Amino acid sequence: MKQNSLLQYIVLYMIVACVALAIATLARVFTVSIGFDSFTAFMVFIVVLAIQVVVYLSIHVVLQNTMLPWIGEWLSKIPYFRKKIESRQVPMIAKETLLDAPEQPSLEDIRNKQLQNKTKEQRDRLNIALNYTRKSFALYLSNEHLDVLCRNLQAYINELDVKELQPVKIKELTAIDIRHFGWNIWNYSKPRNQMDIAHFLKIVFPDVFKETEVDSIKRHLKDDELKGAIKIQENID
């Protein structure tokens, strides 16, 4: 396409140059025929040639900047020419859109991104549960036992074996407080069977539930919602 356009320009300029030279030559011959010397005739040749170049460039600029846009706008109103113009523009627009389209990620990149998002979400949820636990037990557990409780909670949320759980010794809090804590954690980590959190409480707080069966812990998790230091919370965020 570019080579054809260049060739057309070359042919056009050659035709213009030949016509200009022919007119300038005729002017020189006419000057000699009426009795002027060769130098004067040559100067007439140069002046006529220069005038033609200036006139051609002026006409070209006027046509390019003024007449052609006006003619194009006028032709675009005619249905036949409008269809021709649109048929040429659509492939060019499609090509530019294709070139500008961003590179699509591979399936492996998508999987890795989704895995990173899932891992981050799980980590964020665990941190929320751990922060809630530290706030709830900061006054009632030693630093050592609070760390043990947080490790136990992490094992529960990650659904690890109950053999990973270790007991802690608590002071001042009652069975109601511990059951409320258990319900809040279960509710936050749903869907989970309430029996799982009941087993968790039985193992982690053996002194509190020494004489209480797991089924009983499960049945009474949400009893007396407004009593105790730790109350039922629908959302621990």
Asked whether 85 and 93 are in contact (CB, 8 A), the reply is no
Residue pair 217/200 in contact (Cβ under 8 Å)? The answer is no
Spans in the chain with pLDDT lower than 50: 1-2, 90, 93-95, 98
Please, where are the H alpha helices in the chain? 2-33, 38-62, 68-76, 79-100, 107-137, 143-157, 175-188, 194-204, 214-219
Indicate the pTM of the whole model.
0.56
Question: Which amino acid, 88?
Answer: R
For the chain, the structural domain boundaries read 2-100, 107-219
pLDDT at position 1 is: 46
Structure tokens at 188: 């936050």
* CA of residue 196 relative to chain centroid, distance: 41
Cα 61 versus chain centre, distance? 45
Q: What is the pLDDT of residues 10-26, one digit of tens each?
A: 766 787 778 778 888 88
Supply the mean pLDDT for the chain. 83
According to the model, what pLDDT value does residue 184 have? 96
Q: What digits encode the pLDDT tens for the residues 148-197?
A: 999 999 999 988 888 889 999 998 999 999 999 999 999 998 888 999 99
The whole-angstrom separation of Cα 232 and Cα 224 is 9
